[in-house]
Amino acid sequence: MVADEPTKIPGKQSGGEQLLDGQVIKLDRGYPLVRLENGREVRCEHATSLVKGADWRAVIGDKVIVDAPDGHDKGIIVNILPRTRAFVRKDPTERALPQILAANFDHVFVAQPLSDVNTRRLERELVLACETGAEVSVVLTKADLAEDDQHIAEVREQVRALAGPDVEVDVVSLQDPASIEAVRAKVPEGCTAVLLGKSGVGKSSLVNMLVGEAIQQTTPVREDGKGRHTTVSREMIALPGGGLIVDMPGVRGLGLWDAGKGIEAAFADIEAVAAQCKFRDCKHANEPGCAVRAAVEAGEISQERFASYQALMQESEQVSERREEARRLRGEKASDIRAAKEARTTQGARGQAHHTKPKKRSGKRK
């Protein structure tokens, strides 16, 4: 999924100013850290014109244009280039606004601890991951804590059945270098991956295994076997001989946002059966000729999976209704929104081709 794109904001070039391409490689409580095309890394603030009105902010992975003169300790992000894809959730503090967590990636790893897989959360994570349009894999961490090999095999098959045939499931263990290499191979040179998972599932430990050294801080597990929250920033980390991986802090809330396609992908088995329903707009409740209800009653689809599917569909519809209500309150028309998106895309593409000759930038250096 590609979220609504920020409008390209022209910059300004004059004596002493130097505009450079860059990418946001770290996002924490301070200023975004941008790696410039010349290899220099600089903390940046946003140009006033970027955040005024639309209030756009660069996120981890964003390609940006930075005014970064030599001798200054901070640069100014004057442009955010169009995103190839974005990881979007519903803003947990707002009724009908999206929150973008990462941009411009190729693969999403969903991490779950093998000894304590949360299937309801996993289904939601898979919906959001599939919605991005990136390749998706599940990584079962902490296999060292499993009871035995039979337990590992059983959990892996359960997760495979839940994730569907298009999502690979890997089990990683520090005692099994081949398992770590299998995950690393999915992030070749030129590829960027996002690592998603709740706090304490072993993401930092996984990154350390992939890198081959302890670059991410970890904390001992509690007496109940669960981990503690460690990572507090989003950061791009280079893998030896491979691409980049974004280690994101534990994401608690996973509210859906425009997740129709993600649900279709994550519940492809139910969607395939739904195509056989008598009515095209079947809600799979009490309608006659419902193939999905028949499959559930026959045991072909588990009651738990169907209940999760129904709940996520209902949540997605409610979010869509609130978005529509918010749009009406703002006095916007659907055609106006489409036209604005097309204009932003066109302007962004034009700006990306000619960003070396910007016209104007507002915003003062602090």
| Tens of pLDDT, residues 199-225 | 788 888 899 999 987 665 555 544 444
Judge whether 194 lies within some domain. yes
What number of other Cβ atoms are within 10 A of residue 98's Cβ? 19
pLDDT at 35 (0 to 100):
93
Judge whether 315 lies within some domain. yes
User: Confidence class of residue 341 from pLDDT cuts 50, 70 and 90?
Assistant: very low
Phi-psi region of 146 (alpha: psi -120 to 50; beta: other; left: phi over 0): beta
pLDDT at 254 (0 to 100):
55
pLDDT at 81 (0 to 100):
94
* Whether residues 241 and 322 fall in one domain: no
Contact at 8 Å (CB) between 149 and 189?
Answer: no
User: Confidence class of residue 326 from pLDDT cuts 50, 70 and 90?
Assistant: low
* Whether residues 179 and 226 fall in one domain: yes
CA distance 165 to 287: 29
> Which residues, other chains included, contact 88 with Cβ-Cβ below 8 Å and sequence gap of 6+?
1, 3, 98, 99, 100, 101, 128, 131, 132, 257, 258
Contact at 8 Å (CB) between 5 and 92?
Answer: no
pLDDT at 325 (0 to 100):
67
* Whether residues 108 and 239 fall in one domain: yes
Judge whether 366 lies within some domain. no
Q: Find the range with the poorest average confidence among 11-25, 39-53, 301-315.
A: 11-25
User: Confidence class of residue 8 from pLDDT cuts 50, 70 and 90?
Assistant: very low
* Whether residues 332 and 226 fall in one domain: no
CATH of the domain at 311: 1.10.40.50
Q: Find the range with the poorest average confidence among 116-120, 141-145, 216-220, 323-327.
A: 216-220
CATH of the domain at 12: 2.40.50.140
Structure-model confidence comparison of residues 255 and 183, the more confident one: 183
Judge whether 103 lies within some domain. yes
| Tens of pLDDT, residues 275-296 | 999 998 898 988 899 999 999 9
Structure-model confidence comparison of residues 27 and 106, the more confident one: 106
Judge whether 279 lies within some domain. yes
pLDDT at 252 (0 to 100):
53
* Whether residues 70 and 109 fall in one domain: no
**Does residue 95 carry a pLDDT above 70?**
no
* Whether residues 243 and 113 fall in one domain: yes
* Whether residues 138 and 207 fall in one domain: yes
> Which residue(s) pair with 99 in the sheet?
89
Count the domains in the chain: 3
Domain boundary among 48, 83, 118: 83
* Whether residues 79 and 114 fall in one domain: no
**Does residue 362 carry a pLDDT above 50?**
no
| Percentage of the chain modeled with pLDDT above 70 | 70
pLDDT at 13 (0 to 100):
45
* Whether residues 107 and 243 fall in one domain: yes
* Whether residues 123 and 226 fall in one domain: yes
> What does the angle CA 159 – CA 163 – CA 164 come to, to the nearest 5 degrees?
120
* Whether residues 108 and 233 fall in one domain: yes
**Does residue 258 carry a pLDDT above 70?**
no
CA distance 328 to 90: 19
CA distance 59 to 321: 27
Judge whether 286 lies within some domain. yes
**Does residue 169 carry a pLDDT above 90?**
yes
**CB neighbour class for 292 (10 Å; exposed up to 12, middle 13-18, buried from 19):** buried
Structure-model confidence comparison of residues 106 and 313, the more confident one: 106
CATH of the domain at 138: 3.40.50.300
pLDDT at 363 (0 to 100):
41
What number of other Cβ atoms are within 10 A of residue 89's Cβ? 19
CA distance 135 to 110: 11
* Whether residues 112 and 227 fall in one domain: yes
Q: Find the range with the poorest average confidence among 9-13, 92-96, 219-223.
A: 9-13
Q: In terms of residue numbers, what domain contains 160?
A: 98-247
Provide the sign of the torsion angle of the four alpha carbons 328, 329, 330, 331, taken in this order.
Answer: positive
**CB neighbour class for 310 (10 Å; exposed up to 12, middle 13-18, buried from 19):** middle
User: Confidence class of residue 144 from pLDDT cuts 50, 70 and 90?
Assistant: confident
Structure-model confidence comparison of residues 79 and 345, the more confident one: 79
- Helix (H) / strand (E) element for 328: namely helix 303-329
Judge whether 203 lies within some domain. yes
> Which residue(s) pair with 137 in the sheet?
109, 168
Judge whether 115 lies within some domain. yes
